[in-house]
Structure 1
Amino acid sequence: MTTTRSAAEPEVLPSDPLEKLPVVLLSLCVGLGAVLYWVPLRGVTPRDATGLGLISVLPLPTLIGAAVLTLTFVATLAQRRSSRLLLGAQVVLVVVALHTLAQIMEPMARFPTVWQHAGFIEFITRTGSIGTNLDARFSWPAFFAFVGFVAKAVGVTDLDPVFKWSPVIIQLLYLLPLAMIVRVMKANWRAKWFAVWLFPVANWVGQDYLAPQAFGYLVYLFFLAILLTWFRPAVLRTRIGGRRGKGDEPGKLYSFFFGPKTTGEEPVREVGLWERRFLVVLLVVLLLVGTAAHQLTPYLLIASSAALALVGRNELRGLPIIGGVIYLAWISFMAYGYWRYDPGGTLFAGGGNPLQTLLESTSGRIGFGDPDLGKIQRLRIVIVLVVMALTVIGLLRRRFRGIDDRVALILLIVPISSFGLQSYGGEIALRTYLFMLPGAVFLAAYAFYPDPKPVPVVRSAPRRQRLRRWGPTLMASTFAVLLMGGFLVVRYGNEAFEQVRPGELRALDAMLDDAKGKPITLVWVSGEVVTEPAAASATPQGPWGYRNFESFSYTATHFAQEPYRTGLLQTPPVAPTKQEARDRRPNVAEIISAMQEEPGSYLYSSRMNDTYQVLNFGLAPDWNQRLVGEVKASGKFKEVYAGPDASVYKLVEQVGEPAERPTPTGLIVGISNWTPAGLIYLPVLIGVLTARELRRIRLSPDQWTRLRPYTVVAFPLFVGFVAIVVERFLTLKGTQ
């Protein structure tokens, strides 16, 4: 019997039984890499980490496992079709592997700064107020208050697990807005997935712990994702103009830089008017939240939205103005307790000299301590330079293909302007690199996969086409393995003095128990050679202030300063020799003198601070053991706490009572003659500017003249508000 088939009916071809074999093999390689990575870590402790950090104690199979995971991902990119499930699983696995490495080996949350933030949260939760006179970070308390509120609302009293595992959770949350930004870029699936993979691997900065900067960065990414997804102009254009060549045709150089190009972004996603209104309000809310949570984030929100508007990739042209008003208002009113004594020295410390700030944040962080620690600092600089070089290559390769990647370029270069603000405690280079990553990872991926559409893969092809397929894979594999290795070295390069041990917390608890509610002066020993007293470390390396933050003050006693200070002040600076640094010793008599001047003093010694001084200032490895021996032998001290990781001593004979600490001041707004008017102008101005943008999204660009009534109302309000801010700075500075 013969059956007939309609001509319109498609012919069903038999499936190739080997078609899914590569995906199966790659999945097995992923499993093998995970086993090699994690299983050997059982029993490994970072306690004996050297100046090279965690890499000095990692077993070889773990490093091989990391290489297998990396190569498997790039091999997945080389497949004929995109295996989204496998690629997504690999990205998540890499995030978990890299950002839980220290957590699974250490009993406590890493980074001593986490425990200061725990102190802020505990203080706000316990008192219901803030202490702007206790720490500058209380002037941006939104994040701490939010965490404390949520913890109290759900009945959680022990936040230690949250502190410990927050880095990996935050890194996974970063992927959500990044996925939205990925959909904006006009690139082939290999470039997009490689950019997503690069983001967590290139993010070695270590700002993903439970901190305002991590939360602010998440706000920044969501802000960009919403802005780029729904508020780019519907018609994207490239600039045409500039110097032309002979005749009517533009010159080659002109055409390369300014000639007509294909936009590097996909068409804007269309949504309804009410959805766009909601998104505009959400963007304003993100500006408010970002400003209240962290100092640096609002500047990047404002600068990025302004730059995108300038290059025609943001139709909400008034959004930067709204952000600027909110930022000025917060600085002037809510952060008054931070700047009131010295506005120039607080708000603009180190600002106005970008080159000096850059040098202090990079090469200036390489000290005269342990050589291995210096290698870590240099490797960080090398990684940044390599990533930046790849961004240039990627930008040029796309440009040669006639693609205008102005969004990625703006996201890359705008954060560089942060160097003109302030030094941010010498960390502005780290923060700048972090904010450059959303643009950098795309341009770096384009260095290997520049074509907007995937290169076709055929089983039998000429040599040139095979090279075009496998060449990028080989180069991407080399770069990815090196970057993975670099991450494991530099991310955990300071682990010797960044791991927090339970005994260090118990030592602080012992001080609080012994003081019985009285103020505490924590005396600690520093090996720093102080060349600028204002920049000297005021607190030890450790989890100080993790509870009862307001009870503590800190006094540093230093090793011998001369002739080393004189040498460092010379041009060029002359650092102590290795032997001179090792021969330096603390003076017990000076410690006793400092403690006698401050009744209620306790000498605090910890393994973290001990290791920090050794690696950063080249001290003898046994300096702290000798000091503790001299303290015990002096007969002047009484032991309050002693353990393998920390010890606490107080004087046997302490004369007088501890001086009372200043009462936490809470929120201080500061009242000038014009302040009441400013508090009225501010909400009205923000409301008018927001209404202006809500009206804008209903109009086409040629109808924006209809926004003039909003501008007429907003302009005098804006001028008046700026005048009030200036008046406050002039009249309230230096007030008590």
Structure 2
Amino acid sequence: MNNSRFSILLTIVAVGLWAWSVTQASLAIGFFGLIDSYPFTYFMALGLLSIASFILWLSREGHGKLLCLQVCLFIVMLWLTPILIGANPPSTVWTYAIYFPNSDILAQTGHFNASLHFDVYSAFYMQNWPGAFLFESALLKIAGASTVDFMALYSPIFTQFLILLPLYIFFKNSINNPNHRWAACWFFFLANWTTQLYFCPQAIGILFLITLLALLSRTAFWQNEGHSVGQQFSVILILAGLTITHLLTSIVAFLSVATLWVTRQVKGLNLTILAGVLVAFWLIYGAATQLQLSLPGYVERAFRLDLVFHLSALSGAGTASPSLLGVSYVRYIFTAVIAVMGLAGFLLSRRFKDKSDFPLLSLMASATLVLFSMLYGSEFWLRALLFALVPLSYFAAKMLRRKTSAAVMCALLLALLPFNIISHYGFAAVDYEPPAERAYWHFAVETAPPGDVFGGTRIYYPDFTYSRFYPAETSWKDGLLAFPTPSNNPVQYVHVGQTDRAAYRFALNDSLSVAQTQNELEGSASYSLIYANPSVNLYFHQYQQ
């Protein structure tokens, strides 16, 4: 049996095992998150599919179509399985909290709502990512607002396939061996645990960024040959679209192009014009508002190496639970191994030099700058890793050039499969949006009058003000919870449910506050139960006018 047929056989067995494992899985969120939900057969399926691809990576013949299918199956197994067993992709809560409300307002009114005042960051959300909201509002116009639940659950999977296309084109232009191109794609999706590639502005920004890199990696740019005005205009157009989609990624994109230009990896691009496009589009949509909010913090933290681990989103903060810290340590280990594999491939590239090595190394400079600039506060680790994934994947694939390093790479990729599940779905305690919670959210935004809201899924609609956590016991005043943000709303809501208990336990290591608050509410004459389902109780109070 030749390599191709054996790989096909393993792929078929892997798909069968995966389908069987889904029927045997049951939702269980444990110490390391969602991994407790998966039976052993699920990891057998991932392992066999991985081995099926490893065989083809090392083959001397090209197997592009079969490898493409295997990468697609790998994405499906990683992203679709949680939905099939009753969970949801990471960060689903933000689809309901920020992205759908802003896109919905835009779809209904045709413009951004300047009256949105849920907190001091309203302008930040509205003006930081207008391009993403325009795109999502167009989808809502076509599909209808009733599809928000479907979009929240399934759009992350489609996002992975949207990213796969320009990612493969980039590796096709950069890696000579056709099988190794798919190995780099595989590495990219395995290494990404950042929870930022769901359908959100950051993911759309990454899509634009990789598309820009795919265009720049064309022979005309990479080898400094002649290129048309149309190609240059395409670069400007992509950068303009990126600028109004995600501010940070637009900065990284410009830095990447600038690095390639300074190192003379690309020619014919006018850096002054590109900088002008960047600033002009910032001014058009009001990026100055976001910079006014964030710039002082950026300047204060910039290049403070003592804060690298203190602020890290991987390590948690404050009185974090043992579970949060445990998942964070796994993320550290996972990220370190990914970085070491990229470094190993880079060291091998000194022997097997390719024309794309130096340009890809140059692209790491932007990610390194994000890492040590402390941009995005506690999320800077996640963003830096996300921007570094493309060059890391490129260099990691170089480990396949030698038999020994290839064997080490394949063994590590197998060992890292559970690390991906833990790192990606380890925060399931707070990421999980049960159907009852989604039903509550629809009730609140579609039926309930605007007011002050404590707890539950964030409600960032006009005239709602929101507080994630209940105040301390001393913040009770005259039998009412004192809302931290002054408002003129006539009513107050207090959400008590599964998401609140999980948030307190996981983020604050506090198992008592939610129960104590519910007891206070049950015994208070000031609050009445306005809504209830199996997972949520919503209490209501009308302020005296």
Alignment of 1:88-237 (within 5 A): 88-106=68-86, 111-115=92-96, 116-131=98-113, 134=117, 135=122, 136-139=124-127, 140-153=129-142, 157-232=146-221, 234=223
CA distance in 2 between counterparts of 1:590 and 1:62 reads: 54
- Asked if 2 retains the 8 angstrom alpha-carbon contact of 1:51 and 1:370, the reply is no
* Aligned pairs, number: 531
Q: Counterpart amino acid of 2:34?
A: L
Q: Which moved more, 1:334-343 or 1:626-635?
A: 334-343
In the other structure, the counterpart of 2:453 is 522
CA distance in 1 between counterparts of 2:338 and 2:229 reads: 38
Looking at CA atoms only, which structure, 1 or 2, has the larger radius of gyration?
1
User: Normalization by structure 2: what TM-score?
Assistant: 0.89
Point out where structure 2 has 5 or more consecutive residues left out of the alignment: none
Q: Counterpart amino acid of 1:610?
A: R
Question: Quick check: 1:392 aligned with 2:343?
Answer: yes
- CA 1:108–1:57 in structure 2 vs 1: closer, same or farther (change >3 Å)? closer
CA distance in 1 between counterparts of 2:68 and 2:433 reads: 33
1:488 to 402, 412, 421: 421
- Asked if 2 retains the 8 angstrom alpha-carbon contact of 1:503 and 1:644, the reply is yes
CA distance in 1 between counterparts of 2:193 and 2:158 reads: 15
CA distance in 2 between counterparts of 1:305 and 1:608 reads: 43
CA distance in 1 between counterparts of 2:360 and 2:428 reads: 33
User: Normalization by structure 1: what TM-score?
Assistant: 0.67
- Asked if 1 retains the 8 angstrom alpha-carbon contact of 2:21 and 2:39, the reply is yes
- CA 1:174–1:624 in structure 2 vs 1: closer, same or farther (change >3 Å)? same
- Asked if 1 retains the 8 angstrom alpha-carbon contact of 2:490 and 2:543, the reply is yes
User: What percent of counterpart residues are identical?
Assistant: 20
CA distance in 2 between counterparts of 1:232 and 1:209 reads: 31
In the other structure, the counterpart of 1:551 is 463
Structure 1 position 402, deviation (Å): 5.1
Q: Counterpart amino acid of 1:355?
A: L
Q: Counterpart amino acid of 2:499?
A: M
In the other structure, the counterpart of 1:687 is none
Structure 1 position 333, deviation (Å): 4.5
Q: Secondary structure at the match of 1:42?
A: helix
CA distance in 2 between counterparts of 1:174 and 1:354 reads: 33
Structure 1 position 377, deviation (Å): 0.8
1:602 to 493, 502, 506: 493
- Asked if 1 retains the 8 angstrom alpha-carbon contact of 2:445 and 2:459, the reply is no
Q: Name the one with the larger helix percent.
A: 2
Residues 476-508 of structure 1: CA deviation (Å, up to 9, x unaligned): 221111222211111111112112123223323
1:52 to 12, 15, 32: 32
CA distance in 1 between counterparts of 2:180 and 2:99 reads: 38
In the other structure, the counterpart of 1:353 is 303
CA distance in 2 between counterparts of 1:512 and 1:363 reads: 33
- Asked if 1 retains the 8 angstrom alpha-carbon contact of 2:521 and 2:527, the reply is yes
In the other structure, the counterpart of 1:680 is none
In the other structure, the counterpart of 1:23 is 4
Residues 423-474 of structure 1: CA deviation (Å, up to 9, x unaligned): 314212101111111100111121x223xxxxxxxxxxxxxxxxx64x3443
Structure 1 position 205, deviation (Å): 1.1
CA distance in 1 between counterparts of 2:287 and 2:405 reads: 54
CA distance in 2 between counterparts of 1:108 and 1:396 reads: 39
2:440 to 507, 513, 517: 507
CA distance in 2 between counterparts of 1:27 and 1:591 reads: 67
- Asked if 2 retains the 8 angstrom alpha-carbon contact of 1:308 and 1:410, the reply is yes
Q: Counterpart amino acid of 1:655?
A: Q
Q: Secondary structure at the match of 2:326?
A: helix
Residues 112-139 of structure 1: CA deviation (Å, up to 9, x unaligned): 1111201111111112221355421211
1:613 to 499, 504, 512: 504
- Asked if 2 retains the 8 angstrom alpha-carbon contact of 1:392 and 1:443, the reply is yes
- Asked if 2 retains the 8 angstrom alpha-carbon contact of 1:291 and 1:298, the reply is yes
Structure 1 position 171, deviation (Å): 1.0
2:64 to 84, 87, 99: 84
Structure 1 position 312, deviation (Å): 1.8
1:411 to 356, 360, 363: 363
Residues 77-128 of structure 1: CA deviation (Å, up to 9, x unaligned): 2334232222121111111111222222237665211112011111111122
Q: Secondary structure at the match of 2:267?
A: coil
Q: Counterpart amino acid of 1:122?
A: D
Alignment of 1:246-325 (within 5 A): 276-318=228-270, 320-325=271-276
- CA 1:556–1:473 in structure 2 vs 1: closer, same or farther (change >3 Å)? closer
- Asked if 1 retains the 8 angstrom alpha-carbon contact of 2:83 and 2:89, the reply is yes
In the other structure, the counterpart of 1:631 is 521
